[in-house]
A and B are shown apart, each in its own frame.
With several copies, the nearest count.
Chain A
Amino acid sequence: MAEFMSLSAAVEHHLRDGQTVAMEGFTHLIPYAAGHEVIRQVKRDLTIIRMTPDILYDQLIGMGLVRKMVFSWGGNPGVGSLHRMRDAVENGFPQRLELEEHSHAAMANAYEAGASTLPFAVFRGYKGVDLPRVNPNIRSVTCPYSGEVLATVPAIRPDVAIIHALRADRQGNVLLEGIVGVQKEAVLAARSSIVTIEEIVDDFGPRSANAVILPSWTVGAIVHVPGGAYPSYAHGYYKRANAFYIGWDAIARERESFAAWMKANVLDGSPDSFASLAFGSRKSA
């Protein structure tokens, strides 16, 4: 049953050193504020899972908190490389980073299997490519009817899922809308979860009969963090700060500029550090 708490309490209570955590968000609704709290609390030796690790995971890696990353596309979308991730993979700085690499199709299926509590997912993929050579978790099964050989991937079952959503009602039900990615699957696949939200409402009110809702009893902690997805965005609340993503490239390129930025903006910051930026940039979102 969902429990409303502060961000620091939620991270303290739900995430421990050495655990596997998925902070999901497919461009939309990336849980930046929660991820920053993880950095402030210096949770170490993490295995981080995400289809599209972007700046937030670059920050976790650059701060030396990550042992292993499970992913399918690691870059700054439309901009270029994740320099901290590259520094870890290419130079072992600040520490070696183990990679388990998949395709998007595999990861999406693996989350779906996790939400279904299946041990693995079956899909038609990885034809004629090299990833199966370097990832022993890419295997296959034979269709018992057609004989077709299909690819498999282990289900994703994180210890903790962290997502950002739009609204929660007073009972702790959580609503997402727009580009919903794999967030619902991540929460359902995880053993516990933290959900940051833009807004608490008494009742969701009139809505689609098929609205994307996580019932209260599927969620661990709920934390009210307006602007908590910035520089990502929240459908109907604020837009993606594309300028921030473009600007990140220069910040993260060098170890020193990265460390200085993290100190000023994250380590010395708080859960509402970015709220003014999120809503300062508010447009007809």
Chain B
Amino acid sequence: MTYSATEIMTIVASRFLTNSDICFVGIGAPSAACNLARLTHAPGITLIYESGTLGTRPDVLPLSIGDGELCDTALTTVSVPEMFRYWLQGGRITLGFLGGAQIDRFGNLNTTVVGDYGNPKVRLPGGGGAPEIASSCGEVFIIMAMNPRAFMAKLPFITSMGHGAGKGSREALGLSTKGPTRLITDLCLFEPDPETSELIVTAIHPGVTREMIQAQCGWPVRYADQVGLTPAPTDSELAVLRDLQARTKQAHAA
């Protein structure tokens, strides 16, 4: 079966999720990946959305972080101050998902502004939950499609911290959480180099070359000694994902 770049990105992300994960889920690709995992190999996964819904099991993907579907299918729903105090800051979330408009090679993200903060070229939505998701979750997965204006050598603004300036930056700030352990893109998988914490390519998706990856990346891409080949999405993975997306589209068009 053929598949899109977004589909393989979502499916690769979903494969890393397990029944024991407690996930803080963002809208878009993270939400699709988490629910795909829940509907396939990880039915016991715990999904939390920052709107306050704990242990939710939506039948269609939410358009917003607070769609009624999330509350209707949740174990319970807490207030937003409680969500950020007891649950996120409380260190109970094993895995947070982030995306962004721009990323650097240490997994720092910008979702705030392009250009000068006081006089921006493009005003982006802002950080939302990201700064504290990045610091409080046990580890972080980032999902982003590659393009050279998004994968930048230097960010104009750091909205959420990845590995800072490299290995040791998080520890220097007193953080004991891992930060970004995987960057899942439409072309390949990045993971932090154990020595430097720079995100390096550890697996390449089927049909993708190193030249294609570098063409979409604003910094010189580095590769692990052993670079794997991502298994192609299976028919079954694609079928469940497409069914979910179709139900979602129908629901939101109503």
The chain B residue sitting closest to A211, CB to CB, is B76
- List the interface of chain A (C-beta within 8 A of B): 1, 26-28, 51-52, 71-75, 77-79, 81-82, 85-86, 89-90, 101, 103-105, 108-109, 111-112, 115-118, 123-131, 134, 148, 173, 178-182, 184-185, 188, 209-213, 215, 217-218, 233, 235, 239-240, 242-243, 245-246, 281, 283, 285
A180 pairs with B77, CB closer than 8 A: yes
Bound: A112/B131 CA distance, A:
19
- Contact (Cβ within 8 A) A209 B28: no
Give the tally of cross-chain contacts (CB within 8 A).
226
Residues of chain B lying within 8 A (CB to CB) of residue A1: 20
Cα(A97)–Cα(B62), bound, Å: 31
Question: Which A residues are CB-close (under 8 A) to B76?
Answer: 209-213
From the candidates B68, B118, B129, name the one contacting A285 in the complex (CB within 8 A). Answer: B68
Query: In whole Å, how far is B175's beta carbon from the nearest beta carbon of chain A?
Result: 6
Chain A residue nearest to B55 (CB atoms) is A215
B187 CB-CB contact with A under 8 Å: no
Decide yes or no whether B173 CB sits under 8 A from chain A: yes
Q: From the candidates A77, A101, A108, A245, name the one contacting B65 in the complex (CB within 8 A).
A: A77
Would A116 and B89 be within 8 Å (CB), given that A77-B27, A124-B136 are in contact?
Answer: yes
Instruction: Tell me if B79 is interfacial: C-beta within 8 Å of chain A.
Output: yes
* B63 at the binding interface (Cβ < 8 Å): yes
Q: Which residues of B pack against A, CB within 8 Å?
A: 20, 22, 27-28, 46, 50-55, 62-68, 70-72, 74-81, 83-86, 88-92, 108, 112, 117-118, 120-132, 134-136, 157-161, 164, 169-170, 173-175, 251-254
Cα-based distance from A81 to B124 in the complex (angstroms) = 7
Given the known A-B contacts A28-B68, A111-B81, are A131 and B132 also in contact in the complex, defined by CB atoms under 8 Å? no
Chain A, Cβ-Cβ closest to B131: A103
Using known A-B contacts A72-B127, A116-B85, determine if residue A179 contacts B122 with beta carbons closer than 8 Å.
no
